[in-house]
A and B are shown apart, each in its own frame.
Chain A
Amino acid sequence: MTEKRSFTLLVLGGTSAIALGYVRARVDDLASESREIKLILMGRSAERLEVEAQHFAALGVETETKVADLSGDVDLPDDWHIDEAFLAYGQLTDQDRAQGENDYLSAQLSVNFDSAAAWLETLARRFERQGHGQCIVVGSVAGDRGRQSNYAYGAAKAGLAVFVQGMQHRFAGASDIRFLLVKPGFVDTPMTDHIEGKGGPLWATPDQVGQHILKAVKRGKLQLYTPWFWAIIMWIIRSVPSFVLHKTKL
């Protein structure tokens, strides 16, 4: 007699709009399968995490918050069984500032790449010990090609993409350990609020992105552009010869 064990979902970056869009979709989905869920939200602000946690607690999800500096040392408690991890923390680097201040540049690369790599290795070891695990990593289309408007952020995300690719190769034989790299285009979240004239057909909502990611997880995909048309846009941007790209301000 097998009892469906509780499903633990760990979110690194528990106030991330994209992460929460995914969690809502995931919680709905697991509830329809009558699975018990345990949700762990990790991030910097206890207060903000509490507000997000309350929503899921009201839906009957066992929710825990853990305050941590995700860009610092990795602390994944030994007794945690992680079925699924969603890595969504990061900062949209101010390109101009990165060009002017080495300390800022270094700190940004550390948050967006170094610490993420450390988390991924830690999770990989945990998944190996468990015999199973799914990790979803939020990359960015910015990592597809270095462009003058955002290459500091793009480089970190590009590094992350290669790192995840390597892990996917490492675990190719183990069908129960999977890593999905998500490359969102324009998503309507606080991170993009400063962008002039946001909104319009190219923009997606966190809920839409969350649903899309869930579908990809269930299909065991390795990589996802969301919304789908970004795959085409980025293929073009990657394929364009340098002399053409260099004439643009992209």
Chain B
Amino acid sequence: MALAWGRAHRLSHDEHYPRYRDTAFASDGLNGPVTFFGRGRSYGDVALNDGGTVVRTERLDRMIDADWDTGVIRAEAGMSIDQLLRISVPRGWFVPVTPGTKFVSLAGAVANDVHGKNHHAVGSFGAHVLSLELQRSDGQVLTLSAAENSDLFALTISGLGLTGFIAAVELQLVPISSPMMTVENLPMANLEAFFALSSESADWPYSVAWVDCFAKGADLGRGIFTRARHSRKATALVSHNSDARLTWPMDAPGWLLNRSTISAFNTAYRARPGARFRGAQHYAPFFYPLDGINHWNRMYGRRGFYQHQCIVPAEGAEPAIRALLGTIADAGQGSFLAVLKQHRAETSPGRNSFCMDGTSLALDFANKGETTRALLAELDRIALSHEGRMYPAKDGVMSAQTYQRCYPNWGELEAARDPALNSAFWQRVTETIPA
């Protein structure tokens, strides 16, 4: 049974581990529906299905082509950003966009059109993809790019892996002269301060804010604002060590993460010396603080957790975020991983990409059953009422109605979907809504 990161969806299916990409989608003989699965860092059920086959691409982790003068690489579906960085950093290149964990496959990054702390500067992952190799269940092997099969290219980016097997990804890397980041952490008194700091930091390529989700009233939105850039001082190009130092050994008991413990953490986290750190930090702990703990998701216990991530348009963003944070603080269910970020208009060609010119808020919620799902539905409602939308890669419960309102181009993706492919997420959100 493949598990996504939230571990809240337990579905049963066959698992297939192809060794070579030309036999990965031999869909005859595979119990349908088929869903492709990279490293399982999506939170909900975009990469899962019930009763079919999950094709796991982790053995398809080879480089196909690389030009270390231009920074253009082409790699197999299952190569992770972790593996890519260990190869590219010593050669002076970095990924143009990275999410909060490096353990995502390149195909997964394309399928979800992931974004990073630099979205306001460079857009999502899809904006940096030069071409894709797509395999369909009828045997076709297609090259997709802005120039060739461009409609299918745009649908495949942010296409949740449904248009076919994304067998290879061609990506433009960005040059670096150092593995270090120049980082500044600034105290953020409240939500107003977040917006002020964000606009002041517009010329910093990376920026993000951690928020204490239990702060209320005048302190709503209190937290730490972080901004960074790649250090321009040329130093030895040392990549990271993939092995985590620590492992969260087992499922924690369900009561571990509750209002008191999280509040206590938040207070301590804001007060710690690192909260005001300014200086040089290696890219690994800057981008991937949680990757240092293997299986940190077990901290949420056997019932797992849900993440809620939504984005609201720039106009009206402040009242929207205020409403969301207020609801969360009142409900008392929250987590210490609360992240606010400013985005700019999306430059990726993805037809169903999540990002827009606006502000996103991401939070984890321990799965406490019905109360959690009710809170998530309420947050969905608030986001929708402010013309916002939720992120499929994080979602575990979005209704069809909500999804279809957030992603008006979903019908195009459904039309382009390979008939052999489907996912539990897609089945849920494409249910026909009674008129």
The reply on A121 being an interface residue by CB < 8 A is: no
Verify A55–B62 contact, CB threshold 8 A. yes
The reply on A130 being an interface residue by CB < 8 A is: no
The reply on A169 being an interface residue by CB < 8 A is: no
The reply on B17 being an interface residue by CB < 8 A is: yes
Verify B20–A51 contact, CB threshold 8 A. yes
| Minimum distance in angstroms from B64 CB to a CB of chain A | 6
Interface string of B13-30 (1 = CB under 8 A from A): 000010110000000000
Verify B17–A193 contact, CB threshold 8 A. yes
Interface size class of A (residues with CB under 8 A): 10 to 19
A17 contact set on B, CB distance < 8 A: 19, 59
B63 contact set on A, CB distance < 8 A: 54-55, 58-59
The reply on B356 being an interface residue by CB < 8 A is: no
Contact segment of B65-73, B283-291, B327-335, B419-427: B65-73
Verify B73–A58 contact, CB threshold 8 A. yes
Majority secondary structure of chain A interface residues (helix, strand, loop or mixed): helix
B68 contact set on A, CB distance < 8 A: 60
Q: CB within 8 Å of A: which of B55-86?
A: 59, 62-66, 68, 73, 86
Partner of A51, one of B62, B86, B87: B62
The reply on A48 being an interface residue by CB < 8 A is: yes
* Complex Cα spacing A250 to B86, Å: 41
* Complex Cα spacing A164 to B24, Å: 38
B19 contact set on A, CB distance < 8 A: 17, 190
Interface string of B86-106 (1 = CB under 8 A from A): 110010000000000000000
Between A52, A54, A60, the greatest number of chain B beta carbons within 10 A of the residue's beta carbon is seen for A54
B17 contact set on A, CB distance < 8 A: 190, 193
Verify B64–A54 contact, CB threshold 8 A. yes
The reply on A172 being an interface residue by CB < 8 A is: no
Verify A58–B65 contact, CB threshold 8 A. yes
* Complex Cα spacing A114 to B92, Å: 47
Interface residues on chain B, number (Cβ under 8 Å)? 14
| Minimum distance in angstroms from A36 CB to a CB of chain B | 15
The reply on A233 being an interface residue by CB < 8 A is: no
* Complex Cα spacing A190 to B87, Å: 25
* Complex Cα spacing A150 to B109, Å: 43
The residue of chain A having its C-beta at the shortest distance from the C-beta of B17 within the complex is: A193
Interface string of A16-57 (1 = CB under 8 A from B): 010000000000100110000000000000001001101100
Verify A48–B62 contact, CB threshold 8 A. no
Between B62, B65, B73, B90, the greatest number of chain A beta carbons within 10 A of the residue's beta carbon is seen for B62
* Complex Cα spacing A71 to B66, Å: 35
B62 contact set on A, CB distance < 8 A: 51-52, 54-55
| Minimum distance in angstroms from A193 CB to a CB of chain B | 7
A48 contact set on B, CB distance < 8 A: 20
* Complex Cα spacing A193 to B18, Å: 11
* Complex Cα spacing A149 to B22, Å: 34
* Complex Cα spacing A171 to B19, Å: 38
The residue of chain A having its C-beta at the shortest distance from the C-beta of B74 within the complex is: A58
A55 contact set on B, CB distance < 8 A: 62-64
A58 contact set on B, CB distance < 8 A: 63-66, 73
* Complex Cα spacing A79 to B121, Å: 55
* Complex Cα spacing A57 to B23, Å: 22
The residue of chain A having its C-beta at the shortest distance from the C-beta of B61 within the complex is: A55
A190 contact set on B, CB distance < 8 A: 17, 19, 59
The residue of chain A having its C-beta at the shortest distance from the C-beta of B86 within the complex is: A28
The residue of chain B having its C-beta at the shortest distance from the C-beta of A32 within the complex is: B90
8 contacts between A and B (CB under 8 A): A28-B86, A54-B62, A54-B65, A55-B62, A58-B64, A58-B65, A59-B63, A190-B59
